[in-house]
Amino acid sequence: MDSGDAAAAERQRVHVRPATLRRAAPATLHLLPCAVPRNRPAPVSRFFTPAVRRGPDGLEVSFRGRRLRGEEVEVPPGLVGYVMATEEDGEVLTGPEGKQHFLEGSEKDEEEEEPLERDFDRFIGATASFSRFTLWGLETVPGPDAKVRGALTWPSLAAAIHAQVPQDGD
């Protein structure tokens, strides 16, 4: 990538197609404790899903001969999960994003001196939504100190960090 491309990337905006957020169909997500190196279609419902069992301590399944234990994890309250893909290269981003903020006010039109969307901008849309996913660990369910669980507590803390401070007299 030459420096011209890099400079363009700084100017670029990636616009979210609001309609895709509204009509995104619910998806089934599993977070595996191993790296599968390539992005590609996979017959998950043929091999993985039918093998999932509900045991005395959580869900059980095996993948490539290794036993996995799992648990359903909810998206934090006030948020919704979206699977997003950029329009040209099919890159996929996954993550929960503030629900209420996205589903309102997208039709508001306003006249501006500079348009928000420019020729060189890119677009991204939601291909699916989720409100929970299944978290898997090798042999045991990931414990309370698992990084993912820590990350899921972040939104509530972020709200406090970024809340406006109250007005006062001094």
Partner 1 sequence: MKSGLMFVKLANPCSAGEGAIYLFNVCLQQLFEIKVFKEKHHSWFINQSVQSEGQLHFATPMDPLFLVLHYLKKADKEGKFQPLDQVVVDDMFPNCTLLLKFPELEKFLHHVTEEKEIDSKKYYKYSKEKTLKWLEKKVGQTAAALKASHVPVGARVQSAAFVPGDQASGDKEEDYICYAHGLISEYLPKELSDDLAKYLKLPEPLTSLSNPPSKKIKLSDEPVEAKEDYTKFNSKDLKMEKKNNKMTAAQKALAKVDKRGMKSIDAFFGAKHKKKA
Q: How far is the CB of 60 from partner 1 (least distance, A)?
A: 16
Per CB under 8 A, contacts with partner 1 among 34-53 are: 34-45, 48
Annotate each residue in 85-104 with x if it binds partner 1 (CB under 8 A) or - if it does not, as one string.
-------xxxxxxx--xx-x
- What residues between 133 and 162 interact with partner 1 by CB under 8 A? 147-148, 150-151, 153-162
| SS3 state at 87 | coil
d(CA 163, CA 170): 20
Residues 6+ apart with CB under 8 A from 142: 33, 71, 135, 136, 148, 149
| Piece of 6-14, 51-59, 64-72 that binds partner 1 (CB under 8 A) | 6-14
Quick one: which of 68, 70, 128, 129 contacts partner 1 (CB under 8 A)? 128
Nearest partner of 91 among 42, 124, 43, judged by Cα? 124
